[in-house]
Structure 1
Amino acid sequence: MAKLPAQKALGWKPDGPLSSQDLSDGRKITVNECAAVAGATLWQQQGYRSSAGSPAGQQLFAFPDAEAAQSAYRRLVADMNNCQTVSRHVQKREGVRQDAVVTTTATTGDGTAWARHWTGVGGLSAPDTQTNHLYVVHQGDHLTLFQFDELAERAAPPHDTGTDAAVLGALAELGAKS
């Protein structure tokens, strides 16, 4: 798996073994409250924990061909570009302050990164104040994703989103080796 953002500062360690699932039955994998990946034939995931206990996950999705992967990437980008609206709707439904702010933090020729700062509602995200980071890179017939959360309740140095283009580059490098 790729070098993780702020590896030294956050002390990322694997949280369990690498898992792999056949998705040829058509299942979609939910990424967060806003987006899901559909059309993949294989899903691999490696979980991580920072020294402060914050979770992260790195995922690889394989598709039947490059066109299917590109289509999934476009859907994910569209979903994430609507994530602020969706997140605030979820907050309203759950009776939580509607404070979600989602920003695109970096783009490259084959990838996009976002940060969502909000009061989470539990379920897919932890409850309480947090920033969720999502990176997606499309290469050929696969997508590589990396997600991590900065939870207000767990002290850790804040992630510098100015490095997000470099994170996308590291994920692209990983994907090129797949």
Structure 2
Amino acid sequence: MSQPPNRTATQGRTDAAAPRTAAVAPEGLEKLPVQKSLGWKPDGPLTSQELHGQTITLSECTAVTGATLWQQQGYLSAARNSAGQQLFAFSDAQSAKSAYGRLVADMNTCQATSRGFQEREGVPQDAVVTTTATTADGTAWSRKWTGTGGMSARGLQTNHLYAVQQGDRITLFQFDELEERPSPPHDTTGDTAVLGTLAELGRQN
């Protein structure tokens, strides 16, 4: 639900010691049901970073803590809207489950959090956050709002976040739809299928 994290700050190892994983490889994106209509292309290389207690902020609403490895691949759509696949590896399944639980709890209050940012920035308090799909191991959300800058762009937009927890990993996919960069609108009725594809990519690791 935000622009992909700053690569300058997060560039990590991309050698054999930090292997590619199917959950964040560009070829995995081709399997997502929404790829055909939005036409994403890789934006820079896969980045990989070992974590030692750092918190990785995903948006104004939520962050991931406790992971030992973070991998991400950025994309741009045909309309030059940003997207990103991320994978967080944890020391064990319980740590991943706890992190996923915190993410879900944060997103359940994201509408109020977003409107708080809007109030402070003096923009219309119009944020609406919707849970668009749930599966046994994943959840998808959309946030339609007037962005405040910072983590998110300014202006009218819809942000999408998908999260899947499997064993000791969490796989995420985020993308934006900015009003100033129009593209075919995303149909959230397909979000269950997106979660299913992300889960399948995760099982390939």
The TM-score bracket by the shorter chain reads over 0.9
| Same amino acid, percent of matched pairs | 71
2:104 to 63, 66, 77: 77
Matches within 5 A, 1:55-134: 55-134=82-161
Matches within 5 A, 1:28-43: 28-43=55-70
- TM-score (norm: length of structure 1): 0.98
Instruction: Give the structure 1 partner of residue 39 of structure 2.
Output: 11
**SS in structure 1 at match of 2:91:** coil
AA partner of residue 8 (structure 1) = K
Measure the CA separation in 1 of the matches of 2:120 and 2:66: 29
**SS in structure 1 at match of 2:45:** coil
Does structure 2 conserve the Cα–Cα contact (< 8 Å) formed by 1:4 and 1:12? no
5+ residue gaps, structure 1 = none
**Paired positions, count:** 177
Instruction: Give the structure 2 partner of residue 48 of structure 1.
Output: 75
**SS in structure 2 at match of 1:33:** coil
Measure the CA separation in 2 of the matches of 1:66 and 1:6: 29
**Per-residue deviation at 1:4?**
3.5
Does structure 1 conserve the Cα–Cα contact (< 8 Å) formed by 2:72 and 2:87? yes
**Per-residue deviation at 1:135?**
0.1
AA partner of residue 44 (structure 2) = G
Instruction: Give the structure 1 partner of residue 3 of structure 2.
Output: none
More strand by share: 1
Post-superposition Cα deviations, 1:80-125, rounded to whole Å, max 9, x if no partner, equal: 0000000000000111110000000000000000000000011110
5+ residue gaps, structure 2 = 1-24
* Higher RCO by CA contacts (8 Å cutoff, separation 6 or greater): 2
Measure the CA separation in 2 of the matches of 1:143 and 1:168: 12
Is 2:203 the partner of 1:176? yes
AA partner of residue 136 (structure 2) = G
Measure the CA separation in 2 of the matches of 1:124 and 1:38: 18
**Per-residue deviation at 1:5?**
4.4
Cα distance change on mapping 1:5 and 1:15 into 2, 3 Å: farther
1:148 to 175, 180, 192: 175
**SS in structure 2 at match of 1:9:** helix
Measure the CA separation in 2 of the matches of 1:150 and 1:139: 28
Does structure 1 conserve the Cα–Cα contact (< 8 Å) formed by 2:34 and 2:194? no
